[in-house]
Amino acid sequence: MPPPWVKRRRPDPTMRFGLMWFNSPTPYALVDGQAERNPDVLDPQVQARLARAAEDAGFDFLFLADRYQVISDASSRIGHGDPFLAANSWAPILMAATSRIGVATTMHTRYLSPAVIARIGANLDTISGGRWAWNVVPGTVDDELMGVPPLPHEDRYRYTTEVVGLVKALWAARGDRVDLSGEFHSLRGRMMGPHIVQQPAPPLFNAGVSDAGLELIAAECDYGFFTVVDDLAKVRTPVERIAGLAADRGRDPHAVTLVGSVGVLVDDDPARAADRLAELERDLDPAAATGWAQSFLARSHTYRSTHGDEEIRKTFGLAGGSRVLCGTPQDVAEQILDVHRQTGLRGFQILPLTWSVDEIARIGNVFAHLERTGCWEPPARRDWSW
């Protein structure tokens, strides 16, 4: 019997906090030795312990990115993004270790057919008891490795929008026969169970920043997310644009939760927090950081034009291009609230700079300060997912 919340997911004005998941020995471009500071990413027991720690800390969801091709030779040399956990293969470990926290996994519309995406998603939603979400990614950076002919940017989003519609239609059919046709696909037949638990559908994420990407988020998605850079006006612009586009479609103003990715380093001693951050900054591997930045910018011409190469490269190796929030739990809570006020973001995807159960617990101490402001409520006390 599924938990009662899965059929009552609804727009909500309070904040949500996700954790960018530990899927590589060195998630950031840090020099040799950094991987030894982190636990073994390929140990299922480590993954389960970290997931339980995240749930205990109060995180709303875990977010599993995915990709197929190495970032660069320099990155692979230090274990930055290589190996990289396949999101849908490892997610069941996190789901089995937890009972409330959401788990979002990435599937690329260009590399997987709508029926495959629908079936994988329905199984993950069933395994988790209605706690799964799909991060919708068009593809592009791995096209050559995957043997897929590249599509022009606007065609990619037309293709992806069609796939999203077909996947939702397959979920809605719940095993009834379908006869679906579009510009790129034609689907006929009946899909076997299990069927999705969440109704009307699991949440959808997308990180598009182009006009076509913002249209997809406003029309079809529950979460849109962006990298938070120093110039917060550049973050507020797409936030306001999506709100307007969603309203134009008759959606509730809180229907799309817009999430900003931020690096976070928390310590009870502010001086020690600053020292730890300075040490990590000194440990950046320039070649790996440059390779990661170039890989990202090559696949996101719109992001590059929005934020600028230098702005992104400045912190790319340390927190994936995001600004880093550093200090005591109260300091970081106040910084989050400041970003919220200046951008309108109602969600934050946290990127820890190092990984351990203790590090996750320290970040979790931030939530108590946010709860007192009334902007966030622990998932354990909510009767709906996401």
Q: What angle do CA 200, 209, 313 make, to 5 degrees?
A: 130
Do 9 and 385 touch, CB atoms closer than 8 A?
yes
Give the C-alpha separation, 120 to 114, whole Å: 10
Give domain limits for the chain.
4-381
According to DSSP, the residues that pair with 226 across neighbouring strands are 260
- Burial code (b: 16+ CB inside 10 Å, e: under 16) for 179-196 equals ebeeeeeebeeebeeebb
Residue 143 is predicted with a pLDDT of: 85
Give residue 80's Cα distance to chain centre.
Answer: 18
Superfamily per CATH, domain 4-381: Luciferase-like domain (3.20.20.30)
For 312, the token pair is 């992104």
**Beta strand residue intervals within the chain, DSSP E:** 16-20, 61-64, 102-108, 132-137, 178-181, 186-189, 204-206, 223-227, 257-266, 324-327, 347-352
Helical pair 44-57 and 87-97, crossing angle rounded to 10 deg: 60
Tens place of pLDDT for every residue, the chain, 386 residues?
555 555 545 667 789 999 999 999 988 877 765 667 799 999 999 999 999 999 999 999 999 999 999 888 888 888 888 999 999 999 999 999 999 999 999 999 999 999 999 999 999 999 999 999 999 999 877 888 999 988 887 799 999 999 999 999 999 999 999 999 999 999 999 999 999 999 999 999 999 888 899 999 999 999 998 888 888 998 999 899 999 999 999 998 788 999 999 999 999 999 999 999 999 888 888 777 777 666 655 555 555 555 555 555 555 667 877 899 999 999 999 999 999 999 999 999 999 999 999 999 999 999 999 999 999 998 888 766 68
This prediction has a pTM of 0.92
Q: What is the pLDDT of residue 29?
A: 77
- What is the pLDDT at residue 252? 87
- Give residue 344's region: left, alpha or beta (phi > 0; psi -120 to 50): left
- Residue linked to tokens 């065609």: 155
Handedness of CA 138, 141, 147, 151 (dihedral sign): positive
d(CA 362, CA 268): 8
**DSSP state string for 245-293:** HHHHTT--TTSSEEEEEEEEEE-SSHHHHHHHHHHHHHTB-HHHHHHHH
pLDDT of residue 341: 95
First to last CA, the chain: 19
pLDDT value, residue 71:
84
How do 186-189 and 178-181 pair as beta strands? antiparallel
What does the pLDDT read at residue 3? 58
